[in-house]
């Protein structure tokens, strides 16, 4: 993780608008992405999650980290650097005015909303969270197994991450598994391309009790037309997010 923090906290990696930073942090919160906290001046890695974000009121709440640390010792080590993987991109922030609070009956950490949030793209293809309604339901056609359906979370010209609801009795997906096709619509255009399961994250339980499985899929044997069409959408979506739209 130290190699990531050495790269991410630099001026060129800053998100340019507070609105976009808030959107990213809220999404991380809603998806229960694991946040690595690094106390200032130490080499310790602590694990936490974002519990709540409110940029208007200028605060955010983090779960007390694991392994357990004495709260006073933790406060003495602030500021904490937070790093989280979000859609194939590393996101970084730093806590400010950290304090311990009770959040819904359990100990937690409250910080001011970060002054800066940082993005570090380390993949071959730039990846963006998709806009509402831009991508239709995704179908993964497996070889000899029932298809898997889900919703696209983020997209690049090289692949996507989708959230699928696993069904009992299905043979589980495997990292490296080849897919006969990945089928989805992008802004009304139907697309189909062979794929490969690149990675599987731990299943996430949402607030409504449903369970989703994050799946990273790599597009294989892409035609130039397919790659160009998806890349154009990703570029336009990124510009829209940068401008705060």
pLDDT in tens, 83-97: 987 766 789 999 999
What pLDDT is recorded for position 219? 94
Q: Which residue positions in the chain have pLDDT lower than 70?
A: 1-4, 41-43, 87-88, 121-125, 167-171, 242-245
pLDDT in tens, 189-198: 999 999 999 8
Q: What is the pTM of this model?
A: 0.54
Structural domains of the chain, ranges and CATH numbers in brackets: 2-121 (2.30.110.10), 130-242 (2.40.10.220)
* C-alpha dist (Å) from residue 95 to 60, 62, 126, 155: 9, 10, 27, 29
What pLDDT is recorded for position 7? 77
Distance, in Å, from the CA atom of 74 to the CA atom of 80, rounded to the nearest integer, reads 9
Distance, in Å, from the CA atom of 169 to the CA atom of 187, rounded to the nearest integer, reads 33
Answer whether 127's CB lies under 8 Å from 155's CB.
yes
What pLDDT is recorded for position 168? 56
What pLDDT is recorded for position 167? 66
What pLDDT is recorded for position 92? 93
Gyration radius (Cα) of the chain, Å:
19
């Amino acid at each position: 993780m130290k190699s990531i923090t050495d790269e991410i906290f630099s001026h060129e990696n800053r998100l340019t608008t507070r609105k976009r930073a808030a959107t990213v942090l809220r999404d991380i919160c809603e998806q229960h992405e694991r946040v690595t906290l690094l106390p200032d001046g130490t080499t310790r890695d602590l694990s936490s999650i974002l519990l709540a974000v409110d940029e208007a009121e200028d605060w955010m709440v983090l779960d007390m980290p694991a392994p357990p640390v004495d709260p006073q010792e933790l406060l003495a080590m602030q500021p904490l650097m937070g790093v989280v993987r979000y859609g194939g991109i590393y996101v970084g922030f730093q806590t400010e005015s950290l304090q311990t609070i009770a959040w819904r009956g359990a100990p937690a950490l409250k910080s001011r909303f970060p002054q800066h949030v940082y993005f570090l793209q380390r993949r071959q293809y730039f990846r963006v969270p998709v806009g509402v309604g831009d991508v239709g339901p995704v179908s993964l056609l497996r070889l000899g197994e029932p298809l898997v359906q889900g919703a696209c979370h983020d997209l690049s010209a090289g692949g996507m991450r989708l959230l699928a609801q696993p069904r009992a009795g299905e043979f589980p997906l495997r990292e490296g598994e080849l897919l006969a096709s990945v089928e989805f619509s992008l802004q009304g255009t139907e697309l189909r391309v062979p794929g490969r399961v690149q990675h599987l994250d731990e299943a996430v339980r949402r607030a409504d009790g449903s369970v989703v499985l994050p799946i990273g899929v790599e597009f294989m044997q892409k035609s130039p037309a397919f790659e160009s069409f998806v890349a154009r959408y990703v570029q336009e979506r990124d510009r829209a997010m940068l401008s705060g739209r």
